[in-house]
A and B are shown apart, each in its own frame.
Chain A
Amino acid sequence: MNIKKLLIVFGLFVVTSNSFAHHVLGRPSYSLGEDSNTPPSMQIETQIGAYYLTYMAFPAFPKPGESGRVNLYASRIDNGAPFNGEVVFKVRDDSWFSSKEEVLGTRKIDDGVYRQGFVFKEAGDYIITAEFESDGEPYTIDFPLRIGEPAPVGPIGLTILVLAVLLVVVNITQRKRLGRLKATQHHSEKTTG
């Protein structure tokens, strides 16, 4: 069995097992295929309207300049029939104050899967959007994708900054308060004495 077929079987298995360990609707999880050649994948299961969706990203932790792929499986909640139409994949930068968006491609179903390749030049947080139309209803679903390592300096830097400002402000305020208190005491001692 080649990798492609393995992935399809694995993907279908994921779609049909709702109570599988690690998989909670809408929450990213990481898994390793049983074939040692299969890279770890990140997957998210969710639902929207009449469809269950499973989104898988290969590799699980894509790096800048490295080619990757997302697979989308969409099947009806009522009868499990796969969606058969076109899915438009878009990507947008998820960093603050950014509105960059571009179309990655439009895909048709291939063995029950919608596949979209990608290569990102820069590390960062991105949102992949899959859009399709079924029974006259538009469906849009967003999936987060992290390229490269998350920035650890941000949270640590922010924490240190907040704490440093707080401690300095408290210290200055207390010094002023104590200074005023001493001055008041000195003044009252002078007037009574």
Chain B
Amino acid sequence: MLDVLLQQINKLVYQTSEGMVHPGLTAEWVLAVLSIMMLLTIWMMRKTTATSQLNYSVVTSISNLPFVGKNIQQLITHPTVITGLRIFTAVVFLMVIAAGLFGTQVTERNLATTLTWTIWWSGVVISVFFVGSAWCAICPWDAIATWLVRRRLWKRGSELSSLNIKVPKVIRNIWPALMMFVVLTWLELGYGITTSPYATALLALLIVVLATVSLAIYERKAFCRYFCAVGRTLGAYGGIAPVALRPIDNAVCASCKTLECYNGTADIEPCPTHLVMGRIKQNTYCTSCGSCTQSCPYQNISWQLRNIGDEITFSSRPHWDEAWFILGLLSLTIFHGFTMMPYWEGWMSQLAYTIGDSGQLLVSFSIGMLVAMLVPILFYSAMVSVMHRLINKQEEWKRVFSAMALSILPLAFAYHIAHNLTHLVRESQGFLSVVMNPFGTNTLPLSMQEIHMRHMNPVINDNIVFALQATLILFGFWLALKILRRRVLQYTGFTINQGRIIFIPMLVFILSISILNLWLLMQPMIMRM
């Protein structure tokens, strides 16, 4: 019986005749994940007790950790530590630009492509799981832009440095960040910027220019808040992270009249994204810059440890644009998976043949991307519409759409990490040799033997990677169900028995996407470099 099941699951895997691909999840893992998913679904539908928790609970402040807490708190709030890290990332970033412009154009031998796309782009999403949006605090785009415009290493800049114009209302949302994410994905997967050190360096320079222009014209850090696709991605995922900057004692913030976290002080910058720490409910816009920890006269802001996923389960309130950003994240992460399957090229080739596309097949790719993005969006909208009818209240469809978006965020996050894990583990061999020779001087492209060696010797054993990927998919599914259950009850005010049928449309969506993600992870993935 088990053998038959495993055989049937194996039939879902694309069999490549030749070519260099990373192996996908084995049938045993898939069967185990599917079984647990079914059990979780039954549990979710049968469980009769609802949580009465209204807000997520902070487990502890880092400053309260025994023995080392105070020291860690002092260390991470000291401006020289963050400034030192910013200087380090900026130097590495400038090195990446130099390597891209001056170094070899062989993808796997140049620091620009290997560090940017294999290590950083894959690793930065994984980092959210451990340190939330901490990357934003040491982001070199913002660091260089700040030093150029403010002309200070860390202290508050002069009034002359920026025009401080308010961002026009029409773009005071994260639609620009979503657009930028779509463009970055198109450049990455369609244009193939990941394989060109020169183009990678140009993109890095372009983003520095955009960040600097934004900082010089608009008030505070409009680029970070509204335009940066990476920052908003980390911000959205940051709601799941087990750490975040939060008040140690909410009562202190409630009685605060001066709001140094929001306004800054003579020496310290105000919150770059207009947040008041006493009122912060979600991590979406926190760049973890630490200005609030330095400016708070009561030293009431600290890194807090909390339960994974509690923020998006209990306290986040996504707006219309944020909900679309989450949906965009989900569809684009799935799209990433599709483009790295051996099927994809055949589909693009067929489409190009049909429409008469040639060259780099960018028209075909763009059509494919549009369709791949539209399918999950339309499916989600349809399920929200069904749910909206079932609720049968005078509620706006848009509100249901926004509220339910949080339940799909863990699916995007889990698949994003599981997918990136393959890149990081299987494509980062040889990175040390690139660090030793960042410009790839006098190097040759990888020989077939080297490619095979890399392919056969991943950094981490395959079974460990499979176990992590399976766990991640299960984690995403479990958290999605937990949020769905909580949100539906909170939103409708129904009891569990009344609300059970309302779960079903979104449950169908969550199950379908989880199974699709699992199927994508089963497929062999084309080696990028």
Residues of A within 8 A of B (CB): 17-22, 24-32, 34, 40, 46-49, 60-61, 77, 141-142, 146, 149-150, 152, 155-156, 159, 162-163, 166-167, 170-171, 173-175, 178
In the complex, A156→B102 CA distance in Å? 11
A163→B148 contact, CB < 8 A: yes
In the complex, A20→B348 CA distance in Å? 15
Chain B residue with the shortest CB-CB distance to A48 = B358
In the complex, A30→B440 CA distance in Å? 14
B359→A150 contact, CB < 8 A: no
In the complex, A142→B359 CA distance in Å? 7
A-B contact list, 8 entries, CB within 8 Å: A25-B345, A46-B361, A149-B102, A156-B97, A156-B205, A163-B148, A171-B160, A174-B161
Our pick among A17, A150, A159 for the contact of B205 (Cβ within 8 Å) is A159
Chain B residue with the shortest CB-CB distance to A170 = B216
Tell yes or no: B53 within 8 A of A by CB. no
**Smallest distance from the beta carbon of A114 to chain B beta carbons, Å?**
17
Residues from chain A with Cβ under 8 Å of B216 in the complex: 166-167, 170
In the complex, A24→B529 CA distance in Å? 11
Our pick among B16, B101, B107 for the contact of A19 (Cβ within 8 Å) is B16
Residues from chain B with Cβ under 8 Å of A21 in the complex: 19-21, 451, 526-527
In the complex, A79→B508 CA distance in Å? 43
| Interface of chain B: mostly helix, strand, loop or mixed | helix
Tell yes or no: B168 within 8 A of A by CB. no
What 3 A-B pairs come out closest when comparing CB atoms? A26-B360, A21-B20, A152-B101
B159→A20 contact, CB < 8 A: no
Residues from chain B with Cβ under 8 Å of A61 in the complex: 105
Residues from chain A with Cβ under 8 Å of B196 in the complex: 28
Residues from chain B with Cβ under 8 Å of A46 in the complex: 358-361
Residues from chain A with Cβ under 8 Å of B527 in the complex: 21-22
A32→B348 contact, CB < 8 A: no
**Smallest distance from the beta carbon of A144 to chain B beta carbons, Å?**
10
In the complex, A28→B352 CA distance in Å? 18
In the complex, A85→B178 CA distance in Å? 49
Residues from chain A with Cβ under 8 Å of B360 in the complex: 25-27, 46
- Of residues A17, A28, A30, which shows the largest number of chain B Cβ atoms within 10 Å of its Cβ? A30
Tell yes or no: B84 within 8 A of A by CB. no
Tell yes or no: B60 within 8 A of A by CB. no
In the complex, A174→B368 CA distance in Å? 47
**Besides A34-B449, A60-B106, 15 other CB < 8 A contacts?**
A21-B20, A22-B527, A24-B195, A26-B361, A31-B445, A32-B447, A40-B444, A47-B358, A77-B349, A155-B205, A159-B208, A162-B209, A170-B162, A170-B216, A174-B160
Residues of B within 8 A of A (CB): 16, 18-21, 97, 101-102, 105-107, 148-149, 159-163, 192, 195-196, 198, 201-202, 205, 208-209, 212-213, 216-217, 342, 345-346, 348-349, 352-353, 356, 358-362, 444-449, 451, 526-527, 529
B352→A155 contact, CB < 8 A: no
Chain A residue with the shortest CB-CB distance to B524 = A19
B18→A19 contact, CB < 8 A: yes
**Smallest distance from the beta carbon of B130 to chain A beta carbons, Å?**
31
B356→A174 contact, CB < 8 A: no
Residues from chain B with Cβ under 8 Å of A163 in the complex: 148, 209, 212
Residues from chain B with Cβ under 8 Å of A28 in the complex: 195-196
In the complex, A174→B162 CA distance in Å? 7
In the complex, A115→B1 CA distance in Å? 58
In the complex, A60→B161 CA distance in Å? 47
Chain B residue with the shortest CB-CB distance to A19 = B19
Chain A residue with the shortest CB-CB distance to B346 = A18
B161→A170 contact, CB < 8 A: yes
In the complex, A46→B349 CA distance in Å? 9
In the complex, A32→B204 CA distance in Å? 29
- Of residues A170, A174, A178, which shows the largest number of chain B Cβ atoms within 10 Å of its Cβ? A170
Residues from chain B with Cβ under 8 Å of A24 in the complex: 192, 195, 345
A34→B202 contact, CB < 8 A: no
**Smallest distance from the beta carbon of A52 to chain B beta carbons, Å?**
8
In the complex, A85→B282 CA distance in Å? 66
Chain B residue with the shortest CB-CB distance to A16 = B18
Residues from chain B with Cβ under 8 Å of A49 in the complex: 353, 356, 358
**Smallest distance from the beta carbon of B101 to chain A beta carbons, Å?**
4
